[in-house]
Every structure is written in C-alpha cells, then in structure tokens.
A and B are shown apart, each in its own frame.
Chain A
Amino acid sequence: MTQQPEWEPKLLGFLCRWCSYAGADLAGTSRKKYPANIRIIKVPCSGRVDSLFIIKALRLGFDGVLVSGCHPGDCHYLTGNYRARRRIAVTKKFLEYLGVEPERLQASWVSASEGGKFAEVVSDVTDGLKGVGPNRLFSESKLDGTEAKAGS
C-alpha cells in the first residue's frame, strides 16, 4: 500500500431511502462487515442526487462518492433511477475526461434485500479509493485541510 497506514479514504454515500438505505440497514442488522469509511446521506431517490452534490463533495475533500439506488424497474417513483443513470453516466465520463480518477465516483443498484451486496460494494469502492490515494484535486485551498504550497 503506497499510502501511510493511518490514511483512511473518506467516502460519501447517497443512498436512496427505499432500497439502498434499507439494504444498508439490513447489512447492519445481519452483522455484515463493511468498512466504516462511508458517511451516508439518505436521499428520497437516486434521481435526487444532482451532479452539483458530487462535485461539491469532491471539492470539500471527500475521496470518493457512491450513489446507490433501486434496481431499474423497482424505483418507488418509477423513473427516478433511470434519470439518475443518465446523469451519473454523463458525470462519470466527463470527470474521467477532465482527469479525475474513475474510482472517485461510483454508483450501484442495491435493493432493500441485498444487505450482502451493499457491504461488498462499500468494501470494493473503499479498496478502489485506497488504491487511488487521497483526493488532491483541489488541494491548494484549506477546504480539505491539506494546505499544499499554492502552486497556481
């Protein structure tokens, strides 16, 4: 591991309350182990996650963002996850073009009964982030605490 042992990636999870949030609960109640790096924000639907939230999260210093919603077809609001899919796909591709490591923005379908899958997704994403290292994208300002030398 290239990073010092004590660095732990900070992951922000937007979980849709009908499926993924319930899945996370299930993972908890059924004692599934998953890394504690994730901080969870409950959203009514994965479609509620605006790309602005993702960029602001990266700007504030999160190392990665996970957006998780119901499987296509299960959405409580019928089309929310379809919209999320288009928006996340466009955002992911655009960020990769700009030079942001792909591991920083992940998305997944986790239904209310897939506690195991949720635990697996969180650990995969966390390992991905460990491989990529801390988020130095906006590092010159104190916003994420790392006051690198102002190079610009």
Chain B
Amino acid sequence: MANKKVSKKDIASLLEQWRQQFAVFAPSRESGVAAFAEWDGKDVSFLDWYRNTVVPPKASFLPPMEEMFRFEKGTEGYNIKPRPEEENKRLLFGVRPCDARAIAIVDMTFKDAYQDPYYLSKRNNTLLVGLSCTNPCESCFCTSMGTGPAESADVDLMLVDIGDEFLIEEVTDKGKELTRDLKEATEEDEAKAEQSKKAAYDRVTRKLNTEGIKDRLLASFDDQGFWEKTAAKCISCGICTLLCPTCYCFDISDEMVKQEGTRFRSWDSCGFPNYTKMPMENPRQEKWRRVRQKVCHKYEFYPMTFDVVACTGCGRCVRLCPVNWDITQVIESVPDKTGVNK
C-alpha cells in the first residue's frame, strides 16, 4: 500500500470531496464537550484542540438510544413496523486508534452467532478515517494494551501528523478509493511519519502491566475483601461503562401511547444495581460484585471468549470518573494468588 499525503490546508477540501459520497462526521465542540457531529463544511479547527471525544465513536453504531421497531394496535390486532434500513453511507473522520481497536473488539460480539441487524447495518455502512494522536492525555495507556497513538490496524485510512502535512496510510481497499487523486508520499515523509509516531508513543506516560492478568483475576475472583476494598469509593454511576468504547451492554424498553408504541434500545451499565435485578433476587446487588463484574468482563471473561482484552487504554474511565477510580491502579493491585509469577 503506497502511502499518500495531504497538507493540513487541504483537509477542508478533502472532507468536502468526501462529503459528496458520504455523510461526513468530524470532531466538534459544544459547551466544552468534544463529540462527533455532522461536519459543517468549513470548520477544521479541531486539528488544533482535538484530543479525544467524551462519547466514544461506538455511539455511531450503538447509539445511546434507538428505535428497534414501532407497532400499532389495530382492530384486528397488532401490526409491527420495522424501522427502515439506513442506506446513507457515512464517514467518521478523526477516529483515534484506541477507539478504532475498541470498535473492532465490540464488532466481535455483535457478529458472534446471532448477527445484530441494528449495529451491523450502521457499522457496515461507515468508513473509519483514523487520526494519529500527537498529544495523548495523562490518563491514556494505549501503549500497554497492544495498540498505540498511530496504530492503523482497525481503520480504513490513517492520517499521521508530519508537521504541516498528514501522511495517509491506506489500510483497506475502501480506504484506497478515498485517496485516489492525492499525491504520493516521499521517502522523507515516511521518515518524518516514523519519527512522529515514535514521539507520540513515548508521550504516553501511563503504563500498565497486564501480563497474566486473566489468571490473577481468575484466582482472586472470590477474594471478597479485595473487591470490597476496590469498590469502596465507587458510587455506581454509569460513566466508566456508558462512555467506555468497549462496553456494549444495552437495555430494551417499550413505550405505548394510545394505540401506537415503540420498542427502544438504550445504553445500560453493569454498574447499576437494577441491571441484573430479578423479582425474587438480584445476584449482583452488592457494589463490590458489580465492580468485580466490570473489571473481570474486560480483563478475564472477554479474553476467555474472544482471546482479547476488552480494554484499549483510551483513559476515559480514568479521567471522567467522579471519584478518580483508576482501572490501571486496580489491575496492578489484583493479588497474585496463582503462584505462577512467584
């Protein structure tokens, strides 16, 4: 895949060109909250201030709330009206490598055995254009989780910042079509890109050793004392799960008004007590069980099922937590009862 390049000045026109075929979404800021929004056609200021969005790009495929189907109660009974398929092709510009890897991880669940029509129809309709990080946050630890500030494995195109230009790595064929009429990158650009990647890699200061974590968690699963201590300051809100790019849990609820109704799908969190509440009992009522479930799902159960740790080190849960509950501290403090690493 020969790399292309584009100067930062031409980003606006490149986006405009893509806008002819796709609905282009780019980072925007409203009330200080970075989020993906439909690109307005001119503003590319995000190239300066953008680090990462608060709501991860998973929201484009698994939205905070979506209608599954509508139904109405006629005289001769119910008639279910499924939602029309989304045909408009979309392009997400500015996806960070950690979020792209997270999307790949969540894809596994929604493709495994039963295909989820809502998620996949949006996912297969969307191109991901990655943007390498030049200014990682203090809470980011992507380099410890098998990805990095310029990792391009899970996007269609990856733009690497090389001064006043971007080197464009074409990762997939779909990506290749996007950059047909762009200039080729020179050797010198490639060197600058490598150098910029290296610099960004070193700027990720927070490290996490996840070696043997699955077994450590397995061994200390029943260590109630440890989990109670870990969960003590947690207030069971939904921030670290709803805003986590690898979390995909959802709730299904109905609403009926007179004779017309809708079934909704909305985000849910294993941190909430009602998540597993049954009329007779609730297996995870206590806070420490719910905190244990959140940690173990990502670092033990998902690896047992899909052989990948369901965390990409994006740092959202660390920097957005109201009580500064830090996953990296928790993972490091999991007692090593396996006797393996002695």
Contacts and interface: CB of A to CB of B under 8 A. Distances in A.
A and B in direct contact, judged by CB atoms within 8 A? yes
Interface of A: 141-143, 145
A143 to B, nearest CB: 5
A60 to B, nearest CB: 9
Which of under 10, 10 to 19, 20 to 34, or 35 or more describes the interface residues of B?
Answer: under 10
6 contacts: A141-B257, A142-B257, A142-B260, A143-B257, A145-B257, A145-B258
Nearest to A147: B260
B96 to A, nearest CB: 27
Interface centre among A141, A142, A143, A145 (most CB of B within 10 A): A142
Contacts of A141: 257
Interface string B231-270: 0000000000000000000000000011010000000000
Contacts of A142: 257, 260
A125 B258 CA distance: 27
Contacts of B258: 145
A141 B260 CA distance: 12
Closest 6 CB pairs of A and B: A142-B257, A143-B257, A142-B260, A145-B258, A145-B257, A141-B257
Contacts of B260: 142
B254 to A, nearest CB: 14
A44 B204 CA distance: 64
Nearest to B260: A142
Interface in B83-134: none
Contacts of A145: 257-258
Nearest to B258: A145
Interface string B325-341: 00000000000000000
Contacts of A143: 257
A141 B70 CA distance: 13
A143 B258 CA distance: 9
A32 to B, nearest CB: 33
A118 B260 CA distance: 37
A140 to B, nearest CB: 13
A56 B217 CA distance: 46
A142 B71 CA distance: 13
Nearest to A142: B257
A21 B176 CA distance: 75
Nearest to A60: B257
A145 B260 CA distance: 10
A141 B256 CA distance: 11
A34 to B, nearest CB: 28
A17 to B, nearest CB: 29
A142 B260 CA distance: 9
Contacts of B257: 141-143, 145
B264 to A, nearest CB: 11
B230 to A, nearest CB: 36
A148 to B, nearest CB: 15
A62 B260 CA distance: 19
Nearest to B70: A142
A121 to B, nearest CB: 30
A21 B234 CA distance: 49
A143 B257 CA distance: 6
B263 to A, nearest CB: 14
B232 to A, nearest CB: 33
B316 to A, nearest CB: 25
A145 B257 CA distance: 9
B70 to A, nearest CB: 10
A80 to B, nearest CB: 32
B71 to A, nearest CB: 13
A141 B258 CA distance: 13
Nearest to B261: A142
A131 B258 CA distance: 28
Interface in B254-307: 257-258, 260
